[in-house]
Structure 1
Amino acid sequence: MRYIENDLKDKTILITGGAGFIGSNLAFYFQNNHPDAKVVVLDSFRSGETFSNGNLKSFGHFKNLIGFRGEVISGDINDKELLLDLEINYKFDYIFHEAAISDTTALEQDLMIKTNVNAYKDLLELAIRHDANMIYASSAATYGNAESPQRVGREAPQNVYGFSKLSMDNLSREYMKECDISIVGLRYFNVYGAGEYFKNTTASMVLQFGHQLLAGKNPRLFEDSDKILRDFIYIEDIVQANVKAMQPKESGIYNVGTGKARSFQDIVDILQRELGTSLICEYIPNPFIGSYQFHTEADITTTREVLGYEPRFVMEEAIKSYVGEIKRIYDEEVK
């Protein structure tokens, strides 16, 4: 589905983090719906490097881009020579900045700030020199334990990742005052859908529960999972918000969710229905009480007004759409 009618013929689009979950979905959206646009994907791709917590430093994976026909560049957004090369040898019209350290449990504060904040400033400068509109990934992690519904201006990050994203937002606001390009930050809530498998343990519980069920394992949930609520949003609606942010009514920071909180128990129940399973749920004590959000729900009022965004998928429809991919990934990557 096309989300804008604008002709992108001869326009050049840069997608950082383009081999990741959201970036690769954006790349295919433009390839499929705006084939006359030139799409350049930049990603550091994965190596064996890990953080101190054992998780990979980069989740970018070539398999997310199989079938993509645009240009692919392997590189790190912290590499100033690379950014200079991009500035000199390309002329971008739009920049979708998805590259980041997105592991909320990473403890390397120095690298988190360098990658998520300082490199973003360099990309903003590039965007200004190219007169390119900037659309970047912020995060609901900026809200921490703020009460629902979460609204822009009520931030209380609880980890360095959330702090880094809030710092990006604050930096963006300063640039909005001074430059002519549009700058839009999108605060993603709990995203799920095709392309997330290579995020490993940070992939959504929709995928993880789906694979537990396909393996014949009883799904394991925290006690009172019917009372642990999140704003889960399908990847198709994330793409919609990004595309509509290309030409907003005004620059700003906007929530991207459904505006409706759903429980982890809902996820399992819908998956069981779609997969035709009836496994018994196992409930385990929640070790994160006191440090765990029990309710998130995006206030998307301004997102609707300024971007013309309207979530299309409720969870039942989204999981039904996603379940074929969950099975394919299980057969090809897990079994």
Structure 2
Amino acid sequence: MKIVITGGAGFIGSALALELQEQHEVLIVDKMRSNVVFDNGNLESFGHFKNLLDFNGELYVGDINDEKTLAYIKSFKPDVIFHKAAISDTTVYDQNKVLSTNLNTFKDFIELALEIDAKLIYASSASVYGDAPSPQTVNLSEAPKNPYAFSKLMMDKLAKKYFDKMHIVGLRYFNVYGKGEFFKNTTASMILQFGHQILAGKNPRLFEGSDQIYRDFVYIKDVVSANLEALETKSGVYNVATGKARSFQDIVDILQKELNTNYPCEYIPNPYKNAYQFHTQAKLDANFLYTPQYSLEEGIKDYLNEIKRLYEKEVNV
């Protein structure tokens, strides 16, 4: 197949590209990292060339807001579009910027996919659930609390209008971790951040009550599998997670066991206490035949060599 991956130099997009390139013709479209920042000081784009060092397909540097980029994608005539590009920063509160980039361009991609008869698999987000009680369930628990989450919910609502017209699947990612996330900077998972704290010989720093703060952590290899399954499943919006909630304390304990350390943890006040998710756990849809293969223990163990490599080659230089 001919496959386009927007945001393909980012975390999930690059993992998907590296998996697909052996059997398919892959075009990555990415804005790529620059010095441009949002009002909050965070980078506008996390796409990084180091995520693509093993990529052998084609890279097109372009903005999804640009008609020229859409025209190039159309000329490639893909069979499948994996649409991962977006403003994904939950702390960007410029509603015009977030919604015009995430929602308006999504309509463009729907129309493009319809025109060229391509399957469209797009990134939604568990952020649409806000602080809804667990288990978070599609069509039941949506309560977005920031413009990014709202943009993803509106994308899902738009997609539903096309379920009977095309193959379109939205994947609501929960807390994804694994190879390729390092260049997300401070938004990289706490699994990576705790790992590097421990490798630096520092006491892991957790929020007070971290043994009671739960997340549904899902490994990047399972996320790639979910994207591949989305090619065969019926149109819909589906959670991508493990269906099991684990605590931040669990992460530190697993890492210390794997790294053979026993540093005492430091517990600090949670500055986000009034607007914090204290428990996320996905309800998985039996109609979506994706089955997570990695527990938190198994995912961290598989990820550990990459955590060490990043510490040696990127952090400790």
- The TM-score normalised by the length of structure 1 is 0.93
- Letter of the structure 2 residue corresponding to residue 112 of structure 1: V
- Matched-pair contact (CA < 8 Å) for 1:260–1:297: yes
User: Deviation string for 1:58-102 (max 9, x for gaps)?
Assistant: 000000000110010000000012212321x22110110111111
Aligned counterpart, 2:195:
210
- Matched-pair contact (CA < 8 Å) for 2:13–2:84: yes
> Does structure 1 residue 297 correspond to structure 2 residue 277?
no
**Per-residue deviation, 1:307:** 2.8
Aligned counterpart, 2:82:
96
In structure 1, what is the Cα distance between the partners aligned to 2:72 and 2:120?
19
In structure 1, what is the Cα distance between the partners aligned to 2:72 and 2:248?
45
Aligned counterpart, 2:301:
320
- Matched-pair contact (CA < 8 Å) for 1:51–1:108: no
Aligned counterpart, 1:8:
none
Aligned counterpart, 1:81:
68
Q: 1:281 aligns with which of 248, 265, 273?
A: 265
**Per-residue deviation, 1:105:** 0.8
Q: Structure 1 residue runs of 4+, over 6 Å off?
A: none
Aligned counterpart, 2:173:
188
Matched residue SS, 2:238: strand
Q: 2:43 aligns with which of 56, 60, 65?
A: 56
**Per-residue deviation, 1:18:** 0.2
Matched residue SS, 1:331: helix
Instruction: Extract unaligned runs of 5+ from structure 2.
Output: none
Aligned counterpart, 1:25:
15
- When the two chains are superposed, the root-mean-square deviation of aligned CA atoms in Å is 0.8
- Letter of the structure 2 residue corresponding to residue 190 of structure 1: N
**Per-residue deviation, 1:176:** 1.9
Counterparts of 1:150-299 in structure 2, within 5 Å, are 150-153=136-139, 154-177=141-164, 179=165, 181-248=166-233, 250-299=234-283
- Letter of the structure 2 residue corresponding to residue 152 of structure 1: V
In structure 1, what is the Cα distance between the partners aligned to 2:116 and 2:9?
23
Instruction: Extract unaligned runs of 5+ from structure 1.
Output: 1-10
Q: 1:307 aligns with which of 263, 288, 301?
A: 288
In structure 2, what is the Cα distance between the partners aligned to 1:225 and 1:143?
21
In structure 2, what is the Cα distance between the partners aligned to 1:132 and 1:268?
43
Identity %: 60
Aligned counterpart, 1:115:
101
- Matched-pair contact (CA < 8 Å) for 2:4–2:73: no
Aligned counterpart, 1:3:
none
Matched residue SS, 1:307: coil
- Letter of the structure 1 residue corresponding to residue 178 of structure 2: G
- Letter of the structure 1 residue corresponding to residue 125 of structure 2: S
User: Deviation string for 1:229-272 (max 9, x for gaps)?
Assistant: 00000000100000000121x21000010000000000000011
- Letter of the structure 1 residue corresponding to residue 12 of structure 2: I
- Letter of the structure 1 residue corresponding to residue 224 of structure 2: V
**Per-residue deviation, 1:306:** 2.6
Residue-pair matches, total: 315
Q: 2:58 aligns with which of 56, 71, 76?
A: 71
- Matched-pair contact (CA < 8 Å) for 1:218–1:282: yes
Matched residue SS, 1:290: helix
- Matched-pair contact (CA < 8 Å) for 1:182–1:247: no
Aligned counterpart, 1:329:
310
